[in-house]
Amino acid sequence: MEELLEQLADILEIDEIKPQDEFESFEDWDSLSVLSIIAMVQSKYKIVLTATEVRNSKTAQGLFELIKNKG
Amino acid sequence: MTLYNPMDLTGKTIVITGAASGIGKATAILLSKLNANLILLDINEKGLNDTKSQCKPDDFIGTVDLTDESAVETILKEAVSIRGKVNGFAHIAGIPSIAPIKAITKKEAQRILEINTLPALYLAKILSNKKYKAEESCSFVLISSVYANVGSSANVLYTMSKAAIQGITKSLAIEFAPKKIRVNCVAPGFIKTQMGEKINHFFDSEHDTLIESMHPLGLGTPEDIANSIAFLLSDASKWTTGAIFNIDGGFCAQ
Ligand SMILES: NC(=O)c1ccc[n+]([C@@H]2O[C@H](COP(=O)([O-])OP(=O)(O)OC[C@H]3O[C@@H](n4cnc5c(N)ncnc54)[C@H](O)[C@@H]3O)[C@@H](O)[C@H]2O)c1
């Protein structure tokens, strides 16, 4: 989870993200963030997520669980 | 009276990369109908066998990872010893890459270039050598993309690899003109193949409709691209070199 939080903070260009923070509350959250997350998860965890799944995961915690369930 | 066919490829031996699927497969089948002898290369053995079943029984198939230059040379040496010297190639194998700049890595950039771009260089190097090249007409065809002509977000690695193909086309066309080897390029618009399926998960469902609307003639088929490749490999295009053909249903005309 720690690693995922760091990667998400990097994508959203912020210092820190907490598990419950809503992606949509961040200024830099846009369609390119979704693509970045899909590309990052595919290259780091070898898991293929869809754009809809990433949007619906809503928070870092949600994304973490999505990756865990698909892994 | 025999029917006149300026795209007839009788007696010509052609190498096709990416022959197991999509545009490469359609090209193999079309060239076979035009009576070419084929050397079909791909990393996917099952797909290659399926393509071969729709070509001539004595066509050569080689399962090879194109990123391995020495393996490519070894397999071409074997193929030429069996099928004879080569009159041209089409480098069609390729992979997509969707990633915004902040998600790219040097490793991924190298991987894209190693498949989409660099084999064009060493195929040209190997197959322009007299050891492998037939005396008569010789034509090399490289595959670019509309995305080398127009910008596209989250596509920078693919664009880089396909724009480089256009530069390679023009430089090699000049370098090889004294040897009477022609080098041309096809830049396709969107074609429904496995390549699209590999990147579908990146996009919402409206994406397909959006892409289709960017093509005044609608989406293309692998055969639409195969036709242009066959023309460039045949003597019907004997005065064409260094050309980039946009075969894209009007995508770049807008
Ligand atoms: N489909 C499109 O919309 C489109 C548009 C523009 C350009 N293109 C280009 O057309 C070409 C063919 O695309 P396609 O749509 O038929 O794709 P495809 O995925 O159906 O076929 C690509 C083939 O390349 C092979 N390949 C991949 N990596 C390889 C490797 N390392 N070694 C050997 N073989 C390898 C695959 O096994 C596959 O058979 C590509 O260069 C692509 O960039 C496609």
- pLDDT over 80 (residue B1): no
Mean pLDDT in chain B?
Answer: 97
- Expressed as residue numbers, the domain containing A7 is 2-70
Interface pTM (ipTM) of the complex? 0.86
Vertex B87 angle, CA B66 and B75, to 5°: 30
In 3-state terms, what secondary structure has residue B213? helix
Checking if the pLDDT of A71 tops 90, the result is no
- pLDDT tens profile B146-176: 999 999 999 999 999 999 999 999 999 999 9
* Interface membership of B95 toward A (CB under 8 Å): no
Asked if A65 contacts A20 with a C-beta cutoff of 8 angstroms, the reply is: no
**B191 pocket-lining for ligand 1 (C-beta < 6 Å):** yes
Whichever domain contains A33, its CATH number is 1.10.1200.10
CA atoms within 13 A on the CB side of B168: 26
Q: Kindly determine whether residue A11 and residue B202, on different chains, have CB atoms separated by under 8 Å.
A: no
Task: Specify the number of domains making up chain A.
Answer: 1
Ligand 1 centroid to Cα of residue B94, in Å, is 4
DSSP conformation class of B147? G
- The Å distance, Cα B92 to ligand 1 centre, comes to 6
Dump pLDDT digits (tens) for B178-229.
999 999 999 999 999 999 999 999 998 889 999 999 999 999 999 999 999 9
What domains are there in chain B, each with its CATH number? 13-246 (3.40.50.720)
CB contact under 8 A, B99 and A35: yes
- CB contact under 8 Å between B204 and A52, yes or no, is yes
- Enter the tokens of residue B91: 């480098």
